[in-house]
Chain A
Amino acid sequence: MNILLCCAAGMSTSLLVTKMEQAAKEKGLSGKIWAVSVDEVNKHLAEADVLLLGPQVRYKLAHFKKEAEAAGIPCDMINPIDYGMVNGAKVLDQALSMKK
């Protein structure tokens, strides 16, 4: 499963990406997890199965929900507590639960 993360400049989320990749490995999941900035989401949407937004860009949530819907994938904001704690496993769970 391919999980696309979006934050402001794409950097703060990279830390989370590392953690999520670890968690995915432990679960034996394969797929791509990567982070991009708000401006680039559109370019990557086609590749993704799930779109997750950092809480600091939640003002864009409504906008991206529409875009994601058009692309036929679920989109949500990362639970801020999990994001803050950089809890890769929990965010991964969140992504999995969205992709039924």
Chain B
Amino acid sequence: MNRMKRIDQIHQAILHLASKQGITAQELSEMLGLSRANVSSDLNQLWKEGKIRKSNGRPVRFHSNMEDSKSDAVETVFDKLENGNRSLHTSIEQAKAAILYPPNGMHTLILGETGVGKSAFAGMMHTYAVETRKGKRDIPFITFNCADYANNAQLLLGHLFGVKKGAYTGADADREGLIQKANGGILFLDEVHRLPAEGQEMFFTFMDKGIYRRLGETEERTAMVQVISATTENPESALLKTFMRRIPMVIKLPSLRERGLKERFNLIIQFFREESFRLKKEIHVSANAMRALLIYPCPNNIGQLRTDIQLACAKAYADYITYQKQQLEIYSCELAEYIKEGMLQAKEYRQPLEELIGNHKPFFVFHPDQEIMLFEKEPAPDSSSLYENIEKMVKDLRERGVSNEVLELDLENYFSQYIKGMNRQFRKIDLSKILQPEIVTLVEQMIAYAQNKLHKEVSQKVHHSLALHIQTLLERVKRGKQIVNPQLNQVRAKYKQEFGIALECVKMVEDAFQIDLPIDEAGFLTMFFILPELEADEENELVTVLVMTHGKGAASSMVEVTNRLLDVNYAQAIDLPLEEEPQEALKKAKEIARLASRKAGMLILADMGSLLTFGEIIEKEMNIPVKVVPLVSTLHVIEATRKAMLGHSLAEIYRDVRHVASFDITEPQTKPAKHLANKAIILTACLTGEGSALAIKNMLQHHLRFDEQLCEIVPLNIVGKEDMKDRLHRWKKEKNILCMISSFALDNDIPTFSIEDVLNLKAIHEIQKKIDVAETYHRMGEVLNSHLKHASGEELVADVRHTLEQLQQSLAMRIPEDALIGLCLHMCCMVDRLQANETAVNTVKADELSMKNPHLVNQVRACLWPLEEKYDIVITEEELSFLMNFLEKGETLSC
């Protein structure tokens, strides 16, 4: 009795686990917690009964027998498809007939709009052939898109028919064509209307008689191939007419519109289940999101519907792993704008919609275990790696201390992110160490070719990322992983020239490594060549900061303090103990310089002696810009590190850090501080588009008190074409941005509140405070205007605020907002007083100043310099002394 149960349990396990590799007795025993001997004997029993199969070789692997029993025509792929897709009934019957037609099936043409699933359908026809033609498991299925080589007939025909060595320049070996590869199986020709005129006759002959020749060859070859072709074009066009005469079977696939809501509903469910399965997570979809997905206009049909659902899932996944959501949830408000707009038409469809959705709970929940991978054969986007990349990206960002960032999910942005990310890592890794030299050479060839064709420079960054991409590509191919590009058709249409170049590059890779690559790869490579246009900012390379001092541990302790204060691991240290030779330190410094960015350069902060000469040596030998700051202190290191991480240039950092050191101020910074006098702005941003940003705006207007003359709420559309960061960067200079409402931290300098905190009113108090402060400064300007003898109030307030901002940055501390207001008013009065040549009523003893920390005094002086310049004043020691009092004794928060 007991034994029967166990054997059933094992049989069940095998049926469920049925993977291609099968399973060993050992694995099964571990999984089920049974002794290996028992499992082993049961397995043999099952095998004897014919319930399972086993493989040759050691260890013996057991397989389920299910696939075989399935081929007993219990349920074919088409039966599964028809279930829930009634409108495909005729098409399916036709397809079955075309496949079953003896001996090798009937040539077929599939018609239908973009994205109705022609390729998938062809793939299913192949599956059906495998399922029904017993004993013939290896029926080849070769796909080819005629558009890929439409401009190069020779290349296209060579691909199709094969090439004899020497047929044309470059044909340096015999090559078999796709027709030969498809012998005994199916050749799927997509976009067949793009078949060039030169090839048509040859191809028709082949279709009629099964005879063909390789290019440059005289002898005839034969192949038994069932040709399934597909097109989006009108079958009345000239080519298709002749083509159709040779094709007995024409199958028309209905568009998504023609298939009705019920079927669309089934498709949506299917796609969510597949995503849930890929992610191994439950997905919750709100009823409204379902409604929107059901009715939004979807001109690219099922393909688009599927991609849109995948993007929605990817977005939800991003929210989930950045802890913004407890589980994978998709709400209508987070869908792309054009999907949401579908809801506007909801009224027209109310009746059928409610029939489908009305009875359900507010949420549709998809479980990972319910999956049926019906559309497996379709060139599915490589979602798992997209998810992996999101995961990696987020992890990466977290490690760099960024809590969240925009995860732009369309491919262009994804790629520019990808490349940016790569380059961050690249600063630290020596390229040649991790890449094969062949790849480096190959990439150089590819870039040279692209530059020549495109007549433009391809940046070094692209160089690096391309090299790494190729490396990853080769690994994927080696591991037999699929390469699929969901956006292939869009990319091809949008970037014709670059796509052509990418095709050539794919060929270079194929030749160099003797491998076959799918056309999809060209779609990816295209992205690398268009990238320079997409990328606006170049600031990603950062200056390396290196501290070197004599003695044990002096440099490292400064660096440690700095890194801890700034909560980073950025500055580096080299100690030179007295017993050690300076050459030793130089060697280490060169090692660090080798990893530094050639473009950004390196800043060396040293104490004295020979260490100060290292900069010159390294600059010459390593060909990298280096600046040296002598007499280093912790303050220098902090300033340098902070500026370096903000992406300042070497020259800027050098200049600013030297200000910390001395009175020698030669280049006063008189940056206009105008933006602070402008209207205050609160930005509301939303990943899903302007709609929700607008809703947040209304919400804020309702809950906040503010003077519309002084403050404005501006909704922001993140999804827009223009690079978000660029726009923010520009605005920051021009406008007085108080804070931002966004689910992502777009900019670390701008205080950001999460949408959630606004909705539950938690953030309102703090935002109100910011508004009040902004208004206070504005009024301060007005009041001063009527009081000041010399300067304009508004302008002075803005300048003083800017100065205080600089001061806080330079001293790496935060002055509380309350005190800042007081300080600002005080300094405005001070400037006016000094301009009028009045002395302070109450003088603080001047000698106190010399008692103070000279570093701090210098720093404060440096910050005040622009103010002195602009208003033509000299800030007296008494005045300075007060500021010092405040800065030293005041309750400031170091940051």
Contact = CB atoms under 8 A, between A and B. Distances in A.
Interface string B808-827: 00000000011101111110
B840 interface: yes
Contact of A58 (B825, B879, B891): B891
B721 interface: no
A85 B776 contact: yes
Contact of B844 (A14, A39, A54, A55): A39
Among B773, B818, B830, B878, the most chain A Cβ lie within 10 Å of the Cβ of B818
A36 B843 CA distance: 11
A85 B776 CA distance: 5
Given A9-B879, A12-B822, A15-B784, 12 more contacts: A9-B844, A10-B841, A10-B842, A54-B826, A55-B821, A56-B822, A57-B886, A77-B818, A81-B773, A83-B822, A85-B783, A86-B784
B776 A11 contact: no
B828 A81 contact: no
Contacts of A72: none
Contact of A59 (B780, B840, B842, B886): B886
B882 A84 contact: no
Given A9-B844, A9-B879, A10-B842, A83 B886 contact: no
Contact of B829 (A11, A55, A80, A83): A11
B84 interface: no
Given A8-B885, A37-B841, A84 B828 contact: no
A47 interface: no
Contacts of B825: 12, 15, 54, 56, 83-84, 86
A34 to B, nearest CB: 11
A80 B821 contact: yes
A40 B843 CA distance: 10
B779 interface: yes
A54 B824 CA distance: 11
A12 B828 contact: yes
Contacts of A19: 783
A55 B819 contact: yes
Nearest to A56: B822
A7 interface: yes
B822 A80 contact: yes
30 contacts: A7-B822, A9-B826, A9-B840, A9-B842, A10-B840, A11-B826, A11-B833, A12-B825, A12-B829, A36-B842, A39-B842, A39-B844, A54-B822, A55-B821, A56-B823, A56-B825, A56-B886, A57-B886, A58-B891, A59-B819, A59-B889, A59-B891, A80-B776, A80-B821, A80-B822, A81-B772, A84-B777, A84-B780, A84-B822, A85-B780
Interface in A18-40: 19, 36-37, 39-40
Contacts of A54: 822, 825-826
Given A8-B885, A9-B840, A83 B819 contact: no
A40 B886 contact: no
Contacts of B879: 9
A40 B821 CA distance: 23
Q: Which of A8, A57, A85, A86 is the most central at the interface, judged by chain B CB atoms within 10 Å of its CB?
A: A8
A40 to B, nearest CB: 6
Interface in A76-96: 77, 80-81, 83-87
Interface in B722-777: 772-773, 775-777
Interface in B499-521: none
Contacts of A87: 779
A89 B411 CA distance: 60
Q: Which of A12, A39, A86 has the most CB of B within 10 A?
A: A12
A71 B828 CA distance: 33
A80 B817 contact: yes
Contacts of A15: 783-784, 787, 825, 829
Listed residue (B822, B833, B878, B890) with the most chain A CB atoms within 10 angstroms of its CB: B822
Interface of B: 772-773, 775-777, 779-780, 783-784, 787, 817-819, 821-826, 828-830, 833, 840-842, 844, 878-879, 882, 885-886, 889-891
A9 B822 CA distance: 12
Given A37-B842, A40-B842, A59-B886, A84 B779 contact: yes
Contacts of A84: 773, 776-777, 779-780, 821-822, 824-825
Tell me the dominant secondary structure on chain A's binding face. Answer: helix
A14 B844 CA distance: 17
B873 to A, nearest CB: 14
Interface of A: 7-12, 14-15, 19, 36-37, 39-40, 54-59, 77, 80-81, 83-87
B882 A8 contact: yes
A75 B384 CA distance: 66
A58 B886 CA distance: 10
Contacts of B882: 8-9
Nearest to B772: A81
Nearest to B797: A84
Nearest to B827: A12
Contacts of A83: 821-822, 825
B821 A8 contact: no
A56 B892 CA distance: 11
A86 B840 CA distance: 20
Contacts of A39: 842, 844
A55 B819 CA distance: 5
Q: B777, B787, B821, B886 — which one has the most chain A CB atoms within 10 A of its CB?
A: B821
B844 A37 contact: yes
A9 to B, nearest CB: 4
A12 B826 contact: yes
B886 A8 contact: yes
A8 B828 CA distance: 13
B379 to A, nearest CB: 62
Nearest 8 CB-CB pairings of A with B:
A56-B822, A55-B822, A84-B776, A37-B842, A85-B779, A80-B818, A84-B821, A12-B826
A8 to B, nearest CB: 5
A36 B828 CA distance: 18
A20 to B, nearest CB: 13
A11 B775 CA distance: 23
Of B780, B819, B885, which is in contact with the most chain A CB atoms at under 10 Å from its CB?
B819
B821 A81 contact: yes
A56 B830 CA distance: 14
A91 to B, nearest CB: 12
A96 to B, nearest CB: 21
B852 to A, nearest CB: 15
Given A56-B886, A85-B780, A86-B825, A9 B841 contact: yes
A91 B817 CA distance: 19
Contacts of A77: 818
A45 B535 CA distance: 65
A77 B830 CA distance: 21
A47 to B, nearest CB: 16
A84 to B, nearest CB: 4
Contacts of B844: 9, 37, 39
A7 B354 CA distance: 70
Contacts of A81: 772-773, 776, 821
Contacts of B828: 12
B819 A12 contact: no
B841 A11 contact: yes
Contacts of A8: 826, 882, 885-886
Nearest to A9: B840
Given A84-B824, A85-B776, A9 B878 contact: yes
B801 to A, nearest CB: 11
B855 to A, nearest CB: 21
Contact of A86 (B780, B819, B823, B891): B780
Contacts of B777: 84
A23 B787 CA distance: 17
Nearest to A15: B787
Nearest to A86: B783
A78 to B, nearest CB: 8
A17 B471 CA distance: 74
Contacts of B818: 55, 58, 77, 80
Contacts of B775: 85
